Amino acid sequence: RLAFDPSAPDLAADNAWSPVKVRTDGLPPVIEAQVMEPVRELMTLPAKTLKQPQPGHWLFDMGQNMVGVPRLTLNAPAGTRVTIKFAEMLDPDGTIYTTNYRGAKSTDTYICRGDGPETWQPRFTFHGYRYVELTGLPTPPSIDAVQGVVLGSDTRSVGSFECSDPRINQLWSNIRWGQRGNFLSVPTDCPQRDERLGWTGDAQVFIGTAVYNADVAAFFTKWLVDVDDAQRPEGPYTNTVPNPSMDESGASGWSDAGVICPWTIYHTYGDKRQLARHLPGMMKWVDWSRAHSTNLIRDHDRGSDFGDWLSIGASTSKELLGTAYFAHCADLVSRSAKALGDEANAAKYAALFEDIKVAFRKKYFAADGSMVDGTQTTYALSLAFDLLPEGDRAAAAQRLADDVKAKGDHLSTGFLGVSYLLPALANHGQADIAYRLLFQDSFPSWLFSIKHGATTIWERWDGWTPEKGFQDAGMNSFNHYSLGSCGQWMYSSVAGIAQAPGESGFGRLAVKPLVGGGLSHVAASYDSIRGKIATAWHVKDGQLALDVTVPANVVATITVPTASPADVAESGVPAAKASGVKAAGTPSGSASFEVGSGTYHFTAKAP
């Protein structure tokens, strides 16, 4: 932490700054070189509109909720004191709404030199905002007086997604902007208010989407060291990293980030070093969870116990959530140990996973196929974490679909359930219901905020509604990526860019696009660790065209959904006879083919 003497005549002079103060929390200080990309200026946005909602208050709309600083270009007399304020939203009278910033003043001040047009932007800070308000100017400014400088960790963009529905394209953009703004040295929860913390629960629910959007290998390599550094000696991971309070740890779905995030980075990039470095801490957390359970049910010592945070119209048992995540982490630890060749620990934690599943089913699963609470999150997690017998999975998915339909095709999941909802439906014969949820634009839904002008993901489904206006300002961010974790499903299912089961590092693909939902076309790409993967499908006049690009040294099983599997062609030749294409079966309503690297053009009768 640096500090300077504001009375010093030249703040650039060395003697104006004090030495760095190192916080150790009683631990030996360890300084490591930063491995992640630095925070940089990523782009500059021009203001879209300039208005004067009150005399002397000049309001610039950047057209995009963003994270960064403004760049001012002013021409005013010497000594003119310009006050700059920021906001994500406007009050009904058109003035800036800042109540949700809580204690954050989010105000900059600039005193003009008066020597002609002068340009300035703040340093040593950042803001979350869409709107910039200037006051103190003696004359009206021009619209180019303010530009928005976007700041963020300079992680390389690797994903693209585009489809025939502009609302879904905006959703994808909102997800991207939420990640761009909140991946700033650490994965923060929000950029605007007096918080900006690296909440572990938010990071673990979103990491599956994050890896498709950007190359975050180095970003998470650095942050996961922070996660281990903050882990309490007895086992629980902290709820925020870096962690301002060592007492805040052990929450279900939050502490589990210490297992889920290293596994996801390994699964995406095939980097076993992540598992080797973090497996001891991962095992320690699972062992602690076992010691703080009763008959393998996580019924106590769950820390802050946030539950399915900000769920809407539903309340999932926190004990059930804790047990489900306990099981999932045991499974991931087993798989991690196996990937490292540690067969003893792989077997140990695989057996623990099976034992937790038995306890879970006995406690929460009824003979008629129903579950305790029966919330969407209950069914989604049970299916996603493989906690139900194979023979009961379809019935559970049907109950999940029935709940969605009973709510008028609306979701009710919070942070912990939202990323698993669409896959749980689509992977178990309920793709039509998944698409209904994706395209729903009435409250609560992903498209509700977009219908009302959102350019980033909101913290809560009801951050603003026409009936009630703004939610409680105590916790109401309009740039909070967690609920945007549906992005992973858009890439992996809608576009079909996914790994084959049991694979890591995208060495083998399972391309199975989810054609339907009223979409006429989808095009997506992902620049994986092995090269660029691209898919594009188009439906017109009852015919499906599917283009797939497979990078070098990669094998893909491509499943073409069709009403006539025998008639699938590749580049105009019957697919079974096409060069480099090997028939791999005819699953219901589709035909599968195994291919190597190259670009393929399949045509078929649309499903």
Q: Which residues are catalytic?
A: 195, 459
Q: Measure the CA–CA gap between 186 and 483, rounded to whole angstroms.
A: 18
Residue 590 neighbours by CB under 8 Å, 6+ apart? 512, 559, 560, 561, 562, 565, 607
- Give yes or no for a cis peptide into 46 (omega within 30° of 0): no
Question: In the structure encoding, which two tokens stand for residue 64, read together?
Answer: 């995009």
What is the SS3 assignment for 546? Answer: strand
C-alpha to C-alpha distances, 532 to 56, 158, 423, 497, 550, nearest whole angstrom: 52, 9, 24, 11, 7
- Pairing of the two strands 146-153 and 508-511: unpaired
For residue 444, whether the previous peptide bond is cis, meaning omega lies within 30 degrees of 0, is yes
Which DSSP symbol is given to 29?
P
The DSSP-derived string for 361-406 is HHHHB-TTS-BSS--HHHHHHHHHTT-S-HHHHHHHHHHHHHHHHH
Rounded to whole angstroms, how far apart are CA atoms 585 and 510?
13
Task: Please return the burial class of 173, using the count of CB atoms within 10 Å of its CB with bins 0-12, 13-18 and 19+.
Answer: middle
Alpha-carbon distance values, 460 to 325, 418, 463, 477, 602 (Å): 23, 12, 5, 8, 41
**Inter-residue contact 102 to 474 (CB < 8 Å):** yes
Please list, residue by residue across 497-516, b when 16 or more beta carbons sit within 10 angstroms of its beta carbon and e when fewer do: bbbeeeebbbbbbbbbbbbb
Tokens for 219?
């970003």
Q: At what angle do helices 318-339 and 272-291 cross, to 10 degrees?
A: 140
What does the angle CA 587 – CA 590 – CA 596 come to, to the nearest 5 degrees? 90
d(CA 399, CA 129): 41
